Amino acid sequence: MQKNRQKIVVMGLGYIGLPTASMLATKGHEVVGVDINEEAVNTINSGRIHIVEPDLDILVRSAVNSGNLRASLVPEEADTFIIAVPTPFKNGEQAHLKIPDVSYVDAATRAIAPFLREGSLIILESTSPVGTTEAIGEIVKQLRPDLAQHPGTNNHSPQVFIAHCPERVLPGHIIRELVDNDRIIGGINKASAEKARDLYNTFCNGTIFLTDSKTAEMSKLVENSFRDVNIAFANELSLISDRVGVNVWDVIELANRHPRVNILNPGPGVGGHCIAVDPWFVVSAAPEEARLIRTAREVNDHKPHWVMNKIKAKAERFKEPVIGCLGLSFKANIDDLRESPAMEITRGLISSGVGRVMACEPNVCNGSAGMELHELSQVLREADILVVLVDHDEFKTIDKELLKEKVVIDTRGVWR
């Protein structure tokens, strides 16, 4: 048995919670993964997975077969509780801001509160607005006054330890990056950060940096805001290049020959739960100051509408156009549809009635996307207009001879 074996409850078994729970289980910890989706719970307990991620199926099967991982609909008493639940937007917008919704974090905290004991560690992995980790502490203090610090105790010796360790993995490479990436751990105090570090050291090969919880929260938001701003520059370049009649990929390739220039490639927008969401957390916290970050978000949010207008303009050439949309996920070679601009574009085309829309997404089962999916061969055969929305490997190898009679709109530069 592992020397420092813990019992760990992981709240949320999605793209972050399930890999984390499985990794901890394979390192010898007893892990209970909790999710409200009964089908997902049953799937995991059978040693299978309900999401697509390379090598995750092997990791989960190993963890379940070892007896160290099981899934449940409800939490139970443990040494450590990891919260890995969604942090979406609230319904509606206030003053043109998208306001973060931390109700899932709140609910997870309230769910584990009855099972806390003296010395328990709570780790928030969900990307969250600044101050969320401290808010967890306030909820615990309210629900479990028996675990509040005793009068006169040292501030570095809390009854419950609380820290934020933001996930920073790339879909499609989650298992490798979970182990190899550097991690930031921010505690509500030094003791909390150190206790969380000891757990992550059991599976993380990257360097672990300790700080306070607010700095850790802000650091994660800044990472994704940086990416968003740079993508917005590339997307804006694509609009300008189209207006002046030059090929944006040629422009970027030549500009990047400068030793201090590294422009990213444009696309149909920005998707995923992180880059398309987290910058708004910064803007909502400091709306007057976050002018560049807000503008970048607006540029990237506008790009799908620009792509739709380009497609509709081409469709006017045909009496009954057939439009093939290649790719629905938010990035290449994964099944994740969260905040996907390709999904937004495809749904927008369908609802507009511009023509017959045929969607092809090789990484998603038919029915999972909320629309009919078609085989690539059928789309290539029947479509008048082909729109590359995601640069999946399957699309890169298409015979160019099949494209000669088609109108092609390539938002990813796959066929340039």
Residue 138 sits in a domain whose CATH number is 3.40.50.720
Q: How many domains does the chain divide into?
A: 2
In tens digits, the chain (416 residues) has pLDDT values of 456 899 999 999 999 999 999 999 999 999 999 999 999 999 999 999 998 888 999 999 999 999 999 999 999 999 999 999 999 888 655 446 688 999 999 999 999 999 999 999 999 999 999 999 999 999 999 999 999 754 444 554 558 999 999 999 988 899 999 999 999 999 999 999 999 999 999 999 999 999 999 999 999 999 999 999 999 999 999 999 999 999 999 999 999 999 999 999 999 999 988 899 999 999 999 999 999 999 999 999 999 999 999 999 999 999 999 999 999 999 999 888 989 999 999 999 999 999 999 999 999 887 778 899 999 999 999 999 999 999 999 999 999 999 999 999 999 999 98
- The residue out of 150, 174, 206 marking a domain boundary is 206
- Which residues constitute the domain of residue 146? 7-206
Q: How far apart are CA 392 and CA 361, in angstroms?
A: 9
Give the list of residues 6+ apart from residue 130 with CB closer than 8 angstroms, or none: 214, 217, 218, 221, 281, 285
User: Does 254 lie in the same domain as 198?
Assistant: no
191 lies in some domain: yes
What pLDDT was estimated at residue 250? 97
User: Does 196 lie in the same domain as 237?
Assistant: no
Task: Write out the catalytic residue numbers.
Answer: 220, 274
Q: How far apart are CA 307 and CA 330, in angstroms?
A: 15
Secondary structure of residue 323 in the 3-state scheme: strand
User: Does 394 lie in the same domain as 307?
Assistant: yes
User: Does 376 lie in the same domain as 349?
Assistant: yes
User: Does 289 lie in the same domain as 189?
Assistant: no
User: Does 142 lie in the same domain as 255?
Assistant: no
User: Does 106 lie in the same domain as 242?
Assistant: no
User: Does 241 lie in the same domain as 379?
Assistant: yes
User: Does 77 lie in the same domain as 36?
Assistant: yes
211 lies in some domain: no
Residue 383, class by beta-carbon neighbours within 10 Å (0-12 exposed, 13-18 middle, 19+ buried)?
A: buried
What pLDDT was estimated at residue 172? 85
213 lies in some domain: no
What pLDDT was estimated at residue 156? 47
- The residue out of 154, 171, 206 marking a domain boundary is 206
214 lies in some domain: no
User: Does 245 lie in the same domain as 150?
Assistant: no
2 lies in some domain: no
- The residue out of 206, 240, 257 marking a domain boundary is 206
User: Does 64 lie in the same domain as 195?
Assistant: yes
416 lies in some domain: no
What pLDDT was estimated at residue 158? 59
10-34 in b/e burial notation, b at 16+ Cβ within 10 A? Answer: bbbbbbbbbbbbbbbbbbbbbbbbb
378 lies in some domain: yes
What pLDDT was estimated at residue 151? 44
415 lies in some domain: no
Instruction: Give residue 368's identity as a one-letter amino acid code.
Output: S
Secondary structure of residue 385 in the 3-state scheme: strand
User: Does 337 lie in the same domain as 306?
Assistant: yes
